[in-house]
Amino acid sequence: MIIPLELWRLIAYELQIQRNRQPLLSLCLTSRAMNNNVIPFLYSQVDLHTYHSGQLFCLTIKDFGTRLGPFVRTLNIGSHYSYRDWDRLDINTALAGRLSSALRSLPNLCELMVIVDSVGFGKCFDPLTTLPPFLLQRLVIPLVGTPSFYKFLTSQPSIKELQVGSEHTLSEFGMSTNLSLQPNFLSNLTSITAPISVLKGAVPGRPISQILIVAELLDWTDPGITIIAPSTWEPILCGSRVPITSIGFYQSPHSADPWDQLLPALKRFGVHKTLERLSIVETLESPITEWSKHEALLRRVNQMKTLQEFDRLESIEFGEMHSTSSATDVLRWLGSMRNVGAWKKVPITSIGFYQSPHSADPWDQLLPALKRFGVHKTLERLSIVETLESPITEWSKHEALLRRVNQMKTLQEFDRLESIEFGEMHSTSSATDVLRWLGSMRNVGAWKKVPITSIGFYQSPHSADPWDQLLPALKRFGVHKTLERLSIVETLESPITEWSKHEALLRRVNQMKTLQEFDRLESIEFGEMHSTSSATDVLRWLGSMRNVGAWKKCVPSLRQVRMYGVNLPWIDA
């Protein structure tokens, strides 16, 4: 059976998102037709972080630029650790000239990060300013402050997103002056990341709605608080031609924290009435430890409690530039932050807690607090993660799960709650164990005020298929009116062959045709526990199943079908 090229393009697109270049290269070598379809994904983003990679890129474009050049949409030359620490690619005059020639062959380039020294920048980009070969939408660049720098920016009026910064402040004032004195300079900017001195000249008169402030460097002679005058805030917060909907700041270890001055300025100039997104990004001071990360996060959490009157705020984001923190770490750090619920004017949609064997269970205090402060009216997701006391046995896990299930029966009035999740940190429990423990819990259905939106089952080779009993039960108890997601996970009987996987998938596909009256069902997912199936296998098995599209007639609300981690393109068609 031949897989359509449309499906191969879908696979290539997923690999491109994952930045997984080796499989893309392998696909290109399979056939001429495959090469023609995959090459655009392979060359859509090019990263030049070393002198050698720059040389190879120039040679490739020199030989194949007519064919490959139009595919390049994103080009990164050099790299940066932060907006105050730029890792410039060291290029000599010869390489700068070759890069300049290569850039002429990239007519569809729209995103550029260029981090080189001022001499290399001039040699590379001066020849491109008279008749620019491309129109940029996004530019990331350290402040250079040379005539070549401003000449290049002037030649790119199409830029909508600009990210600039520097290790010192000398070039910042020149940039601000150029922006304020030339209203047609970068006149289409909608998003900017820059130091305050640059923002003061950049925002007025331009349609900028998204601002990220690169915090001021501390004065080493006087490392106290850097005072930002109202006359500085006003052009930044009031000068744009459009309302500001997103604002935030980046803070390095050597810059002042602008939060205490930013917040009253937002209120003073009315930005709190239009703001939808707030973000804080920082680079922590070395040595970075778990404790220093915990402290930084706790400080930001406490700052958020002052966000009263921000009526349109929808999103708060904390980030560490080039972070190595895992989700497990973050959840553990948040375990002791009892005051998170005090963000009264920021609707909380997800909350939970982590409990260790040596900590008290906060449930009996958390529940009334959620109701007292009105969080039960906005909460959509509840999660509980714990580490059980050693020795961990099947019975102790059963008891812990039963205790949590019984606690959930008190969730009346949580009208928007869509998801409840229990987890054990570093759990070794299988889905079979969990379903067996739940077998005796007849009171799960008593969670009357919590509509079930997601349901599924796990089936092993030695267990009965519950589908024929589950389906009428869902209808009998009205769950088919609230169900949004259905998932089936199974372990196939050994020996597992491609044919046995095909048969299992076909059986599930045929079962789905009985899903009439499931009016809110949006997603169906099939999976094999510890699956080794590739996306290629799944798409090949599905090639002969022409009746998949008929599910849309049975379930008009269906938006997604996912099999072995692959979204079916037929549903969107």
Burial class of 275 by CB neighbour count within 10 A (0 to 12, 13 to 18, 19+): buried
What pLDDT is recorded for position 547?
47
CB 483 within 8 A of CB 440: no
- Map residue 309 onto helix, strand or coil: coil
Please compute Rg for the chain using Cα positions.
28
Return all residues near 134 (Cβ < 8 A) that are at least 6 apart. Answer: 103, 106, 107, 108, 109, 110
- Give me the residues paired with residue 77 across strands: 48, 114
What pLDDT is recorded for position 145?
81
For tokens 């959620």, what's the residue?
A: 370
- Give me the residues paired with residue 80 across strands: 86
For tokens 């030695």, what's the residue?
A: 462
The secondary structure of 392-417 as a DSSP string is P-HHHHHHHHHHHHHHGGG-TT-TT-
- Whether the upstream peptide bond of residue 495 has omega within 30° of 0, thus cis, is yes
Please give the Cα distance from 7 to 232 (Å, whole number).
Answer: 54
| CA–CA–CA angle 16, 18, 21 (5° rounding) | 55
Please give the Cα distance from 220 to 239 (Å, whole number).
Answer: 31
Please give the Cα distance from 120 to 123 (Å, whole number).
Answer: 5
CB 142 within 8 A of CB 170: no
- Map residue 506 onto helix, strand or coil: helix
φ/ψ bin of 565: left (φ > 0), alpha (ψ from -120 to 50), beta (otherwise) = left
CB 377 within 8 A of CB 415: yes
- Give me the residues paired with residue 341 across strands: none
What pLDDT is recorded for position 52?
94
Q: Is the dihedral of CA 386, 389, 390, 394 positive or negative?
A: negative
For tokens 């045929």, what's the residue?
A: 510
The secondary structure of 168-237 as a DSSP string is SSHHHHHHHHHHHH-TTTTTT--EEEEEHHHHHHHSTTS---EEEEEPPBPBTTB-S-----HHHHHHHH
Nearest to 410 by CA among 382, 440, 373, 438: 382
What pLDDT is recorded for position 407?
79
For tokens 């909460």, what's the residue?
A: 379
Q: Please state the φ and ψ torsions of residue 189, each to the nearest 5 degrees.
A: -60, 130
CB 445 within 8 A of CB 406: no
How do the domains of the chain map onto residue ranges? 172-216+233-344, 347-450, 452-573
| Residue 476 burial (CB count, 10 A) | 9
- Which tokens belong to 296? 């930084």
Please give the Cα distance from 385 to 421 (Å, whole number).
Answer: 8
Residuewise pLDDT in 10s, the chain (573 residues): 566 777 777 777 777 776 777 887 888 788 787 777 778 888 888 999 999 999 999 999 999 889 899 999 999 999 887 777 788 888 999 999 999 999 999 999 999 999 998 888 999 999 999 899 999 999 999 988 889 999 999 999 999 999 998 776 667 888 888 888 888 899 999 999 999 989 999 999 999 999 999 887 654 444 445 677 888 899 999 999 999 999 988 887 777 788 888 999 999 999 999 999 988 888 777 777 777 777 777 777 777 777 778 888 888 887 766 555 554 545 544 544 444 443 434 567 888 877 777 777 888 888 888 888 788 888 888 888 777 777 777 677 777 777 777 777 778 788 888 778 777 655 554 555 455 445 444 444 434 445 788 888 887 787 778 888 888 888 888 888 888 888 888 887 777 777 777 777 778 777 777 777 888 888 888 777 666 556 555 555 555 444 455 455 556 666 676 666 666 655 443
For tokens 């744009």, what's the residue?
A: 240
What pLDDT is recorded for position 521?
85
CA distances from 99 to 44, 131, 304 (A): 17, 16, 46
What pLDDT is recorded for position 500?
77
| CA–CA–CA angle 164, 169, 171 (5° rounding) | 65
For tokens 């599930």, what's the residue?
A: 508
